[in-house]
A and B are shown apart, each in its own frame.
Chain A
Amino acid sequence: MKVMHYDAIVVGSGITGGLAAKELTAKGLKVALIERGKNIPHRTGYKQEFTPPWELPFRGEGDKAAWNSDYAIQQGSGQMNEWNQEYWVKDSEHPYTSTSEPFTWYRGYHLGGRSLMWGRQCYRWSPEDFNANAKDGKATAWPIQYDDVAPWYSYVEKFIGISGSRDGLPVLPDGEFQPAIPLNPVETHLKSEFAKSFPGRHVIIGRTANLTEAQPELGRAPCQNRNICSRGCSFGAYYSTQSAALPTAQATGNLTLLTDSIVEQLNYDDDAKKLTGVTVIDRITKEKSVVNAKIVFVCAGAFNSVALMLRSKSKTFPNGIANSSGVLGKYIMDHAVALAAVGEIPGFEDIYYEGNRPTGILIPRFINVDQQETDVARGFVYQGGAYRPSWTRALNSPGLGVSFKEAMRQPGNWRFAMTCFAECLPNAENRITLDETQRDVDGLPALKIQFKFGENELKLVERAHKEAVAMIEKVGGRVLFGMSKPSPGGTAIHEMGGARMGLDPKSSVVNKHNQAHDVPNLFITDGACMASSASQNPSLTYMALTARAADYAHKTFFS
């Protein structure tokens, strides 16, 4: 069997794996970045980026019959379309089972992972978010505080490029921002109306990893206001592994990129009590090889990182590596998400826009902020925005003929959409396990996902719906639609947990450096390490923790 040697291995090339490779190569380490899927090169790999709808066989809608067979789950994401469909995993080839309520697991197995089609919203956690577990006892305390992570937030923000406004809100600390993209006139109006009627509820522009200023050193141009990011962006205007981390890592001359290479298991030496490296299956030839290294960063995406650890069994760890606690796979989370309300907003009929803004608005958490004021724990944020619907409103409108065609020629009335993302409390019953009865196309055991939102999440979403309706009605809007129950788990595509961080090796998998309690040269720095979910989009926190762990690992193992 072929054996290769490096200083460090990074498993997975998505939002954290790409960054880990960039950090470790910058420190002079020889790094193998191992990606299970195919190579999608920056620019030339974005095959449908410039394709107009009339050149697609199904005009962007996709071949529904084929999707029903191959993408039964993925097509429900609301993000998959005919332009970006090759970035989504085929459910027919990579099955899993939901054993409680349906869990929709949205994935992309290719270079860059979901960094290629992510939502790009980037928010810091607040000091309160890191304190919450210790304070209300709903989960194990975080061993790190905001001040431990804040410098790493800054570090990552400067590298990836985030546009946003500095709002001075304690619940959502400001960061190192490029100039903000402005609110539109309706959002500006609502911001001031809400401030009057609902003190503490702030409308801010979404902080997004889309450049408003070029990063010439990386060949990245500012956003062109297309808002078709998930096709891949040849301008390099949004952060992805391809647009920033990979070229930076490659420029050091220290990176070896292995695509179509699945890490079958982490190899543990029972005598030396450490990892020696990993066993890799070539996805095309099915040949196995071994890659050895002094340290291993597991960044395969929360559930796949846990799956890899569960299938890495040894004499010391018969139930999965670094699992002496028995916690591995438990306490998985996803934000409880629902379109809380969308309403028609009167006025502003003579105003329209030109260009497609690559972000929306955010209303940061406003319940249980200064004190526990309700019978539910934690809180939620709203994301959304004000817009004028185009021709697609015709799909659900009565009407025929010349008058119908003429009416659709102009945009519809202004609408304001509010989607809530509610914090998800960790629960041991929500867990993933290996399903030895089902294998994926590569011969690996599938996952069983047991997940159900708890009473607190249901109450939060109900509250979010009620508040959203009240806010829209208060400004004279007419609510068109709204949900008081969360969409299935997984809908937020913020799945996390399963290898949580904590002080106590008996109740957590990694320590405050994202280092496995049981295996010192193993680091898990993606969403698997999360001990609570807060209500903000999590990727920025994963990235900050990754850069922080890389720094620690380098100092500990190579200095």
Chain B
Amino acid sequence: MNASVDLTRRRLLIGSMAVTLGLAVTPATLWAKALNEPASHPALPLLELFCDLVLPKTDTPGAKELGVAKFVLSATKHGLRNSSDDTLAVFEKALDQHAKTSFKALSKDKQLELMTALDQKVFSRAPSDLPKELYGWRQVKQLIIIGFYTSEVGATQELRYNLVPGTLKQNVPLKQDSRAWSSDWTGVRFG
């Protein structure tokens, strides 16, 4: 029996039971509520640009296509990864100063070049001369990464997801096209 398939069926069953019983709150509806950020939030265009820079579309959709920008907005409102409501605004201002122009107005190549250099410094352990506001990139990028790999597509298509493995094989050949597990203990908060 394929445990993943069985699990999907079980979830569908639970979902339809919830509808039948008229239950008001299920995790799915909560999630929909969290996603219900205004479509025109002023930070969205820049966030989508960052999503595209960090995890672009390849043979699987990228962070932008998966709506990760909205997750990041919600996450900053709730302080995930030590972010806060103004994390994005503060970082954007610092970034514009760093770019000596509006970052959004730069060409795509220039944006990539500037962000690659910045990213190397922010994620390096070596001390740097960057103003501390630019370290807001750490939170923004981390939230994009979380939003992407915990999305259904990120977890199940970009990587592999199996909540009920049923077996333990500890010596499996890793091939060129093998994918990491999104559902192992390093892929979710431990526990």
Are A and B physically bound partners? yes
Contact between chains at B58 and A402 (CB < 8 Å) = yes
Task: Given A52-B152, A54-B152, A411-B174, answer yes or no on A400-B119 (Cβ-Cβ < 8 Å).
Answer: yes
Query: Pick the contact of B119 from A61, A357, A399 — CB < 8 Å?
Result: A399
Range for the number of chain A residues in contact with chain B: 35 or more
Alpha-carbon gap, A227 to B31, bound state (A): 24
For residue B116, CB closer than 8 A to chain A, the reply is yes
Query: Pick the contact of B181 from A63, A183, A390 — CB < 8 Å?
Result: A390
Query: Pick the contact of B11 from A50, A79, A349, A388 — CB < 8 Å?
Result: A50
Alpha-carbon gap, A396 to B173, bound state (A): 27
Contact between chains at A227 and B185 (CB < 8 Å) = yes
Contacts of A224 in B (CB 8 A): 3, 164-166
For residue A350, CB closer than 8 A to chain B, the reply is yes
Within 8 A of B (CB), among A369-414: 387-402, 404-406, 408-411
Within 8 A of A (CB), among B136-190: 142, 145-147, 149-152, 155, 158-159, 161-174, 178-190
Task: Given A57-B33, A353-B170, A401-B112, answer yes or no on A80-B27 (Cβ-Cβ < 8 Å).
Answer: no
For residue A532, CB closer than 8 A to chain B, the reply is no
Alpha-carbon gap, A390 to B174, bound state (A): 13
Contact between chains at B191 and A59 (CB < 8 Å) = no
Contact between chains at A54 and B174 (CB < 8 Å) = no
Range for the number of chain B residues in contact with chain A: 35 or more
Alpha-carbon gap, A57 to B14, bound state (A): 18
For residue A45, CB closer than 8 A to chain B, the reply is no
Within 8 A of A (CB), among B33-63: 33-34, 53-56, 58, 62
Contacts of B182 in A (CB 8 A): 390-391
Contact between chains at B165 and A226 (CB < 8 Å) = yes
Which of A65, A66, A68, A406 gathers the greatest number of chain B CB atoms within 10 Å? Answer: A65
Contact between chains at B178 and A68 (CB < 8 Å) = no
Alpha-carbon gap, A238 to B21, bound state (A): 32
Contact between chains at A50 and B7 (CB < 8 Å) = yes
Contacts of A401 in B (CB 8 A): 53-54, 56, 112, 116
Alpha-carbon gap, A60 to B33, bound state (A): 16
Contact between chains at B56 and A402 (CB < 8 Å) = yes
> Residue of A at shortest CB range from B32?
A57
Contact between chains at B172 and A354 (CB < 8 Å) = yes
Alpha-carbon gap, A59 to B144, bound state (A): 12
Contacts of B128 in A (CB 8 A): none
Contact between chains at B146 and A84 (CB < 8 Å) = no
For residue A58, CB closer than 8 A to chain B, the reply is yes
> Residue of A at shortest CB range from B165?
A355
Distance from A416 Cβ to chain B, minimum over Cβ atoms (Å): 13
For residue A127, CB closer than 8 A to chain B, the reply is no
Alpha-carbon gap, A391 to B147, bound state (A): 12
Contacts of B75 in A (CB 8 A): 58, 61
Task: Given A53-B150, A398-B123, answer yes or no on A185-B163 (Cβ-Cβ < 8 Å).
Answer: no
For residue B124, CB closer than 8 A to chain A, the reply is yes
Distance from B77 Cβ to chain A, minimum over Cβ atoms (Å): 8
> Residue of A at shortest CB range from B173?
A350
Distance from B127 Cβ to chain A, minimum over Cβ atoms (Å): 15
Task: Given A225-B167, A398-B119, answer yes or no on A81-B188 (Cβ-Cβ < 8 Å).
Answer: yes
Query: Pick the contact of A405 from B56, B166, B169, B191 — CB < 8 Å?
Result: B56
Contacts of A84 in B (CB 8 A): 191
Query: Pick the contact of A61 from B123, B166, B187, B189 — CB < 8 Å?
Result: B189
Contacts of A61 in B (CB 8 A): 75, 80-81, 146, 189
Task: Given A394-B145, A400-B54, answer yes or no on A351-B171 (Cβ-Cβ < 8 Å).
Answer: yes
Contact between chains at B163 and A225 (CB < 8 Å) = no
Contact between chains at B184 and A54 (CB < 8 Å) = no
For residue A56, CB closer than 8 A to chain B, the reply is yes
Which of A389, A392, A408, A410 gathers the greatest number of chain B CB atoms within 10 Å? Answer: A392
| B interface footprint on A170-209 (CB within 8 Å = 1, 0 otherwise) | 0000000000011111000000000000000000000000
Distance from B161 Cβ to chain A, minimum over Cβ atoms (Å): 7
Distance from A258 Cβ to chain B, minimum over Cβ atoms (Å): 29
Contacts of B54 in A (CB 8 A): 400-401, 404
Alpha-carbon gap, A81 to B167, bound state (A): 25
Contact between chains at B180 and A184 (CB < 8 Å) = no
Contact between chains at A59 and B147 (CB < 8 Å) = yes
For residue B103, CB closer than 8 A to chain A, the reply is no
Task: Given A58-B78, A353-B172, A391-B180, answer yes or no on A53-B53 (Cβ-Cβ < 8 Å).
Answer: no
For residue A456, CB closer than 8 A to chain B, the reply is no
Between A and B, 21 residue pairs with Cβ closer than 8 Å are: A54-B150, A55-B31, A59-B150, A61-B146, A79-B190, A79-B191, A185-B171, A224-B166, A225-B165, A226-B163, A350-B174, A354-B172, A355-B169, A389-B186, A390-B159, A391-B149, A398-B122, A401-B56, A405-B56, A405-B158, A411-B174
The 10 closest A-B pairs by CB, nearest first: A81-B189, A355-B168, A398-B123, A355-B165, A59-B150, A53-B150, A64-B79, A57-B34, A230-B191, A352-B174
A352-B178, A391-B187, A405-B158 provided; 6 other pairs, C-beta below 8 A? A54-B152, A59-B71, A64-B79, A79-B190, A356-B185, A391-B182
Residues of A within 8 A of B (CB): 48, 50-66, 68, 78-84, 117, 181-185, 224-231, 349-357, 387-402, 404-406, 408-411
